[in-house]
Chain A
Amino acid sequence: MTPTGAWHSRVTQSGAAAGHWLLEWWRMAYLGAILTVLAFSPSSYGRAARATLSRHVYLNTAPILPGFSLLCALVTVVLTRIVVVTAQSYGLSQYALQVVIRVLVLELIPIGAALFVALRCTIPDGVELSVLQAGGRLDDLRRQGSDPTRAEVLPRVVAGMFAGVTLAALSCVVALCVAYVAVYGFTASGLEGYTRLFGQVFSPPVTLIFTLKTLFFSLAVSLIPMASALYGQPARPGAGVRTSAEMRSLVRMFAVLLLIEVASLVGNYY
């Protein structure tokens, strides 16, 4: 092959890869838009759909809720102790609780909840969906005149988002309670100061960013595995594990989570 031919081939391959990359992101955004519209449409919540949605919501959330809450409580106790003891040794104990709330509730718990939901619920759901598609179940639904997006994808995405938000909310409440007990003990005398501190940390911009971050985390971990399951191409024979749809979905999900986290940090601290 001549050098010009090799260069031409390389440019063609890069262009194709970029086009494919853009197409995948576009498909995902499109699916997200469709699902948002469907989620706010009352017609999506018929009797049969409600039953399916209820099953997904319950099965995605309830089993992991106690475990994650317990894990959060343990992490909170350990981190609070470390931060409080360290702050006391530097004579900065008045800032310890604020640091605990900022680090745990604002930063760690939302991303922890999102990752937990992704690993325990949405990635398995995505695999399930890709199995359904591979088995021709989605095509059957289309042939029967039913929309597979509404019937199979929407309940899983909504359940994933619900699980993410519920886990984050409950874990935040548990972490706040455990941090209070770890610092003040079982007494109500510190409640007023603690409430005031909580109010100082959660200023309106911080609250808005926290809410948006939790919602976008939940959306990202719910949507990306589904999009990969629907539009992902099976790995080419001999291409290796690195190019498989599941792996690409995982990488994409982590990249999006990272972007949201960075954006929230920029919003909070700049």
Chain B
Amino acid sequence: MANLELKARILIVFMLLLVLGSALYLLYARGAFESTQELVLVADDSEGVVVGMDMTFSGFPIGRVRRIELAGDGKARIVVDVASKDAHWLRTSSVFTLVKGLVGGPNIRAYSGILNDPPLPGGAVRNVLQGDTSAEIPKVIAAARDLLENLNTLTGASGPARGTLANLQTLTQRLNGPGGALAVLLGGDAEARKTTVTLDRANALLARLDGVVAKADAQVFGAKGVMPETRATVAQLNAMLGEARGSLRKVDAILVDAQVVASNAKDATTDLAALRSEVEASLRKVEGLITEINRKWPFARDSELKLP
């Protein structure tokens, strides 16, 4: 075959190029040609973190885990290579999380709230916040189990819900029964029947009361009823009151006279009081005089008792 050696050489070169190209692509894909800056994330637990996994920012991979090592204090140090071209997304105030989902490995995520802060320096050491979805599952399941047990207790054969439903059913049956709602309210058909009878009697009574009221109306407001008589009496009373008012005016005049007499008597009483006080003063002087004479008299009685 013509040019067989040349074709074979071309084939060999093609194979070598293929292998070499694949190797270079692999090195590029592994980040061998990109400049990076180091970031150390300190975590309590690095379970699930593998070398080569991504660290994402807003869903975009900006770094990859290069090494995981155990620090002297027992914590895991996750060394991440952050591509230099993406390092500006990380600031001194950035927060890093290690979140484990239900499926797949954990995810390392970076959050930068304030992009005006100074950039994160190379070799920075940051604590990583950890969240574990699967760790929450047992708690949720325990709570759900409690809830289901409570529900079972409520709806069980001897549970309150079942009793309530049975009572409700009885109530409905009785509502549909002959006594209806009245029997339910009063507790039995006999009571309901009594109430019905009572109502009938009340109706009859009301009918009779109607008659009574009509008669009373005639008695009170009729032509010769109580009210016209009362009106005449009131008129007579008014006349009598006018007479009484005249009598009272006369009594008033008498009372004015009596008041004048009383004031005269009061003045006389005031003069008598002054006279009495003068008499009392004279008596007090006489008494003082007698006391003085008794003291100065030589045979004055010794009123002092002397003890032996």
Q: Residues of A with Cβ closer than 8 Å to B?
A: 50-51, 53-55, 57-58, 61-62, 92, 94-95, 162, 165-166, 169-170, 172-173, 193, 195-196, 198-200, 202-203, 207
Q: Which A-B residue pairs are the 7 nearest by beta carbons?
A: A199-B29, A54-B8, A54-B5, A58-B8, A166-B15, A199-B30, A195-B29
Measured between beta carbons, the chain B residues less than 8 angstroms from A58 are 1, 4, 7-8, 11
Most A-side CB within 10 Å, residue of B8, B12, B18: B8
In the complex, which of the residues A51, A172, A200 contacts B52, with contact meaning CB atoms closer than 8 Å? A200
In the complex, which of the residues B15, B30, B103 contacts A165, with contact meaning CB atoms closer than 8 Å? B15
Q: Which secondary structure dominates where chain B touches chain A?
A: helix
Measured between beta carbons, the chain B residues less than 8 angstroms from A169 are 15, 18-19, 22
Q: Which secondary structure dominates where chain A touches chain B?
A: helix
Distance between A241 CB and nearest chain B CB, rounded to angstroms: 35
A92 with B103: CB separation less than 8 A = yes
Measured as residues with beta carbon below 8 angstroms from the partner, the interface class of chain B is: 20 to 34
Cα–Cα, bound, A12→B76 (Å): 62
Q: Residues of B with Cβ closer than 8 Å to A?
A: 1, 4-5, 7-9, 11-12, 14-15, 18-19, 21-22, 25-26, 28-31, 51-54, 61, 64, 103-104
A200 with B53: CB separation less than 8 A = yes
Do A196 and B54 form a contact, CB below 8 Å, given A169-B19, A169-B22, A202-B26?
yes
> Chain A: which residue is nearest B51 at the CB level?
A203
> Chain B: which residue is nearest A92 at the CB level?
B103
In the complex, which of the residues A53, A170, A196, A202 contacts B61, with contact meaning CB atoms closer than 8 Å? A196
> Chain B: which residue is nearest A195 at the CB level?
B29
Measured between beta carbons, the chain B residues less than 8 angstroms from A53 are 8
A51 with B22: CB separation less than 8 A = no
> Chain A: which residue is nearest B27 at the CB level?
A199
Distance between A202 CB and nearest chain B CB, rounded to angstroms: 5
In the complex, which of the residues A57, A193, A203 contacts B12, with contact meaning CB atoms closer than 8 Å? A57
B4 with A55: CB separation less than 8 A = yes
Measured between beta carbons, the chain B residues less than 8 angstroms from A193 are 61
B22 with A199: CB separation less than 8 A = no
Cα–Cα, bound, A152→B54 (Å): 52
